[in-house]
Structure 1
Amino acid sequence: MSYIVSSHPNTLNLTQTIYKQLREDIFSIRLIPGEKLSEMKLASQYGCSRIPVREALHQLRLEGCIDSRPQIGSFISYIDYENLEQVRYVRECLETQVMLNALRENAYDDSIDELQSLLDQQWNAYKKKELILAHQLDDLFHLFFLKLPHKEFVRDYMGANNVHYQRARFLALKYDPSPEALVWQHQAILDAVAARDETALTKAIHIHLNNLYRVIDSSSEEIRNYIRHHKKPVRV
């Protein structure tokens, strides 16, 4: 779905370019929550008028990436903690059920080595501090478990495009004092799949998807200030 209203091809393409770059910067916390955006500075940066910038900001605003304050300006939205918990809960329910069903149908039997290779690549990315690559490999690892039983569509319901959840994940990745814990958690998931242990798999998924709370709750005040209405959620 597109929210862009301009009909001029050049403006449309430029709007999409600005939108995609800003969205990537927001998701990866290069633009931090609360930071003010200047239409004039962005127009200068992209060498264009303010029209495509304004349209890109409008689309980001509709997605919850940006908050507007009348007579003040546009700001990167804060991470909504309650929204984050809602997405995490739905994701855990869906991902666990899909994987348990697939396990019973032997959908993963021929792919253990390939999944292990993904984990090895992720570990190398962490060691090289290539956080964006590590984040992408994390997504790919989880997507693999959905693709094998042909349940890719579930990803859209698991927060893949949710600005609050994805920023919290990247925040946890960036500031985790023990980032290798994520790989160990993935390994626990894969080991449970290989052993066909449904109880261990359910537990491993729960621990992994709650990992971001461990990081956020123990982080500095500066990081917690990126989050709106920060509080410990009731775990379900």
Structure 2
Amino acid sequence: MKKAAQTSTADSGQAEGVKTRTRRRTAAAVARPAQRGTTVAATIYRDLRNEIVSLRRKPGEPVAEKVIAQDYGVSRTPVREAVLRLADEGLIEIFPQSGTFVSRIPLGALPEAIAIRKALEEATVRYAAKRATRSQIAKLRANLELQREMEAAQNFEGFHQADETFHALLAETAGYPGFWNLTQQVKVQVDRYRLLTLPVLGRVPDVIAEHSVIIEAIANNDPEAAAKAIDLHLDYLQVTIADAQKANPLYFTAPSEDEAEPV
């Protein structure tokens, strides 16, 4: 009975989330009519992707293509195009006899994605520590203040966006903004998992403190210290996978036999 009650509560929460998104998109459609052709498909793809990565669409939640098409005032063709792109990225699963759903977070894929991200970002901060200008360091410190503002407001999604900007600025400071583009491609599933960790008591202040150490190492032109700081910062993602999975078991898929268990 308890399990059934929990399921009912979860279903109600998902239904309310769907209603809220529908109201928002309907209002947006009235204010800004959808453009036709590939542009609207790209818009739907971007919006759906943002909703999935930000967890506004929960793992396992149904994706109703007909409703989305109605929200945007278009046929189902551009919606289907967007859904197929998201399926290719592993963010949506399509079951011919059952429906279309937001994919669950693949537990076994997270360690490798985190390892790739660490390698890319370690190289990034090493270059940044060698090349940073005073104005670039000022931008990093200004972004850190924005993170503190998001923390004070308890705005976790806003904090996540400020965090993303911080890492993009690191790549810009390094002189290789493409490093961040590559990182974004490999970390999409990590982002969904990471958002589950932000409400953990004390995590956001810790992130800000870790970012501060990275900035100071770069400001001191110390590549080794910067690399060590970014490694320590990203290690948290690895060691808390199991905790996040235990707290949100329905959001994750178990690793297959040929995938490594999270450490």
Q: TM > 0.5 between the two?
A: yes
**d(CA) in 2 for partners of 1:15 and 1:113?**
38
Cα deviation code 1:167-222 (max 9, x no counterpart): 2233333x332221110110121122233444432332112112234554334735
Per the alignment, residue 242 of structure 2 pairs with: 217
Change in 2 beyond 3 A, CA 1:111/1:56: closer
SS in 2 for 1:68: strand
**d(CA) in 1 for partners of 2:128 and 2:182?**
18
Alignment of 1:1-236 (within 5 A): 10-103=36-129, 105-108=130-133, 110-160=135-185, 162-173=187-198, 175-178=199-202, 179-219=204-244, 221-229=246-254, 233-234=262-263
SS in 2 for 1:34: coil
SS in 2 for 1:75: strand
**Does the 8 A contact of 2:65 with 2:80 survive in 1?**
yes
SS in 2 for 1:74: strand
> How far does residue 22 in structure 1 lie from its aligned partner after superposition?
0.9
Calculate the TM-score normalised by the size of structure 1: 0.82
**Does the 8 A contact of 2:241 with 2:262 survive in 1?**
no
Change in 2 beyond 3 A, CA 1:225/1:210: farther
Per the alignment, residue 22 of structure 2 pairs with: none
Change in 2 beyond 3 A, CA 1:221/1:94: closer
**d(CA) in 1 for partners of 2:175 and 2:224?**
23
**d(CA) in 1 for partners of 2:122 and 2:253?**
28
> How far does residue 109 in structure 1 lie from its aligned partner after superposition?
5.0
Q: Name structure 2 gaps, 5 residues minimum.
A: 1-34
Q: Aligned AA for 1:122?
A: Q
**d(CA) in 2 for partners of 1:108 and 1:84?**
34
> How far does residue 161 in structure 1 lie from its aligned partner after superposition?
6.2
Q: Aligned AA for 1:228?
A: T
**Does the 8 A contact of 1:12 with 1:52 survive in 2?**
yes
- Please report the RMSD computed on the Cα atoms of aligned residues, expressed in angstroms: 2.5
Q: Aligned AA for 1:158?
A: T
**d(CA) in 2 for partners of 1:45 and 1:52?**
12
What percentage of aligned pairs have identical amino acids? 30
Cα deviation code 1:54-90 (max 9, x no counterpart): 2221121122211111211111111123332222111
**Does the 8 A contact of 1:37 with 1:74 survive in 2?**
yes
Q: Which moved more, 1:154-163 or 1:25-34?
A: 154-163
Cα deviation code 1:13-66 (max 9, x no counterpart): 332222221111001001111111122222333333322222221121122211
Q: Name structure 1 gaps, 5 residues minimum.
A: 1-8
Change in 2 beyond 3 A, CA 1:161/1:21: farther
